Chain A
């Protein structure tokens, strides 16, 4: 079956512009995560959606960052007034929910490389 998909693959924007990054999770996966990977760094958690629960926004670095998810499908990460330090690869992952006591593997998309000039 199809994996997690993300679009666009690459995005180049000018400082101060807004950008939207899209994630299509695996069908049936109720959990969705956004991570950021700066050059030469590991992945940093940004935000987590689980079903209809309030999202965990604890990783968002500033109020310029926001994300939405429509039900258990597509999610959009929006960065307003982009800055050069926002340049990174943004990765999305999704997982099924087998329950609290069970391991739920996260499956990653290929990421969107954002370059802010």
Chain B
């Protein structure tokens, strides 16, 4: 079974600064996906970024980037030039590399961007 651990329940940062959210996971799988999801107060889960385990290059989506360390089973999210709209819960998630498979989530980090 897979587990995902987020050790930072809450974080806050000033607007325009950079913040890094941590995530570690445990699995015996060799090929899998890792994700960061954003959940604003509306409850809508929004996919922020995806990383495929067989790719060594870290994924990047505009202001969002990851630091994927496969050997260490670490997957952190860096948000650059943080904006007020980034305020939300952020969840790290794992999925086996098959066509359709359930997601395994961490407990989340509540991020607050301070104006």
Using a CB–CB cutoff of 8 Å, the interface residues on chain A facing chain B are: 31, 33, 35, 40-45, 48, 50, 56, 59, 89, 91, 93, 95, 97-106, 108, 110-111, 113
Interface locus among B11-19, B68-76, B96-104: B96-104
- The number of chain B residues with a CB under 8 A from chain A is 22
CB distance from A25 to the nearest CB of B (A): 13
Most buried by A among B33, B93, B103: B103
8 Å CB contacts to A: which residues of B1-60?
4, 6, 33, 42-45, 47, 50, 52
What separation, in Å, do the CA atoms of A91 and B93 have in the docked complex? 15
What separation, in Å, do the CA atoms of A35 and B100 have in the docked complex? 15
Nearest residue (CB) in B for A6 is B43
Q: Contacts A40-B107, A89-B43, A91-B45 hold; do A45 and B102 have CB atoms under 8 A apart?
A: yes
Total A-B contacts with CB atoms under 8 angstroms apart = 57
Q: Contacts A42-B106, A103-B52 hold; do A111 and B43 have CB atoms under 8 A apart?
A: yes
* B44 / chain A contacts, CB cutoff of 8 Å: 108, 110
Nearest residue (CB) in B for A45 is B102
* A97 / chain B contacts, CB cutoff of 8 Å: 99-100
Q: Using an 8 Å CB-CB cutoff, how does the interface string of B88-115 with A read, 1 for contact, 0 for none?
A: 0001010000111011111110000000
CB distance from B10 to the nearest CB of A (A): 11
